[in-house]
A and B are shown apart, each in its own frame.
Chain A
């Protein structure tokens, strides 16, 4: 019971922070709210007995991606007068888009038996060993294809940012 309440509190924190990311007039605050969103998502993952995923979530997303975003923000010019109001321009369209996305996600979750809410409980703790065995045995091809993709992205970034010597 307390666990469920705790989960609900965490999820509402995630929601609240994501709304703040979209609504915040200041870009820097927006990025920091995104960091809090990702951190609270990691907490949800811990509650769902996936500590490894939670750790990776923090190392990669909060520690890596958000830091890069901050760097990007700092490289741009700071203008104190520029305030982005972030109004909801067309609420009806936004509502339709959100509801459609929610429906698709819910359908996908309910159709996959491993993802059904009943299967998610702290009793089914996934160990790092299991994740490693799945990645390097059953899903080896996908794993390697992903690493090649990342390598290609890295090479692409280097080519794009290379100084053009005359």
Chain B
């Protein structure tokens, strides 16, 4: 990894090259996750799943892509054409942006400090950048819901806005636990701190674990996954905001969901599970990060295929009555521990 880093000295070129690698990695994950999820879900439900196209059915996403590209591109007559066509393009863009501040690899430097590598853009305001993108995520969903001019999509868009604005607060607060504990605002700073002092999930007794769990759940809510997939709710709202979309535009929404979930898993790992830190981290490069994030990714879909969905009002009660007070207490507890010097 370090040889690769040394090859490109110029910071702009460096960012471009790493960005190219990270983008391709995430696109590949997003593309083939649909095949993996269908196989995984099939196993959970005692079925076989797609197994015809290619070995073990691994080429199924490509077949799906060809099928989707052939579909007619329908825009409803009364739809708001500009917003309708703009909406599917944005979610993938926003989901991929979050990965820019995550260090994918790292190693111990000569001075015994942890050096982060493979970061596209090591922003000082890493957490804030991620939260800003998460906050913008409601826009495409809402735009799709409004522009389709359909009662189901409108209801779904309204739910998405309500959910997005509510769950952003505990998401921010639980990420703040990591910021307060480490005293760093950049993701790479948080990862370095964890490599040197211990992963936050263990290093902060109880609080770290609860904060990790809540951050993970909030990310599910931001990504509109079960148990928080109210905006999609196929049994009540048909398919939520995606009802009127066909072909590749529909595909883009699905693709963005996989990418978003994976980036959320990457973020949870970087904030609470030590990022790319692990035994022999110098040798294995990004493998540790991908392994940890992969495990979280699997558990997200495990939850998805075995759990139920909250009702819209239960979701709001859960957020405002329980999650926000708990996360506020977590931040206060962490701040107390830091000021007493227990960390």
Q: B-contacting residues of A (Cβ < 8 Å)?
A: 28-29, 32, 35, 51-52, 54-56, 58-59, 62-64, 67-68, 70-71, 74, 80, 127-128
Within 8 Å of chain A (Cβ to Cβ): is B128? yes
Q: B125: which of A35, A74, A128 is its contact (CB, 8 Å)?
A: A128
Question: Complex Cα distance A64/B161, Å?
Answer: 10
Question: Complex Cα distance A80/B79, Å?
Answer: 11
A67 touches B123 (CB 8 A): no
Can you report 6 residue pairs joining A to B where beta carbons are below 8 Å apart?
A: A56-B128, A64-B165, A67-B161, A71-B161, A74-B157, A128-B124
Complex contacts, B80 vs chain A, CB 8 Å: 28
A62 touches B128 (CB 8 A): no
Q: B135: which of A54, A62, A70 is its contact (CB, 8 Å)?
A: A62
How many Å from the CB of B150 to the closest CB on chain A? 12
Stretch in contact with the other chain, from B15-23, B62-70, B137-145, B331-339:
B137-145
List which B146-188 residues lie within 8 A (CB) of chain A.
146, 154, 157-158, 161-162, 164-165, 168, 172, 185
Question: Complex Cα distance A127/B158, Å?
Answer: 37
Question: Complex Cα distance A56/B146, Å?
Answer: 27
Complex contacts, B165 vs chain A, CB 8 Å: 63-64, 67-68, 71
- A55-B136 in contact given A70-B161, A71-B165, A74-B158 (Cβ < 8 Å): no
Q: B123: which of A28, A32, A35, A51 is its contact (CB, 8 Å)?
A: A51
Residue among B135, B154, B157, B162 with max Cβ neighbours from chain A (10 Å): B135
A58 touches B125 (CB 8 A): no
Complex contacts, B136 vs chain A, CB 8 Å: 58, 62-63
Complex contacts, B138 vs chain A, CB 8 Å: 63, 67, 70
- Range, interface on chain B: 20 to 34
Within 8 Å of chain A (Cβ to Cβ): is B29? no
Q: A-contacting residues of B (Cβ < 8 Å)?
A: 78, 80, 83, 123-125, 128-129, 131-132, 134-136, 138-139, 142-143, 146, 154, 157-158, 161-162, 164-165, 168, 172, 185
Chain A residue nearest to B134 (CB atoms) is A63
How many Å from the CB of B181 to the closest CB on chain A? 16
Chain A residue nearest to B86 (CB atoms) is A32
Known: A52-B128, A63-B138, A67-B135. 16 other contacts (CB 8 A): A28-B146, A32-B139, A32-B143, A51-B123, A51-B125, A55-B129, A55-B131, A56-B128, A62-B132, A63-B131, A63-B165, A64-B165, A71-B162, A74-B146, A74-B161, A80-B78
Chain A residue nearest to B158 (CB atoms) is A74
Question: Complex Cα distance A80/B80, Å?
Answer: 11
B124 touches A127 (CB 8 A): yes
- A71-B158 in contact given A55-B128, A128-B185 (Cβ < 8 Å): yes
Question: Complex Cα distance A71/B161, Å?
Answer: 7
Complex contacts, A55 vs chain B, CB 8 Å: 125, 128-129, 131-132
Residue among A51, A55, A68, A127 with max Cβ neighbours from chain B (10 Å): A55
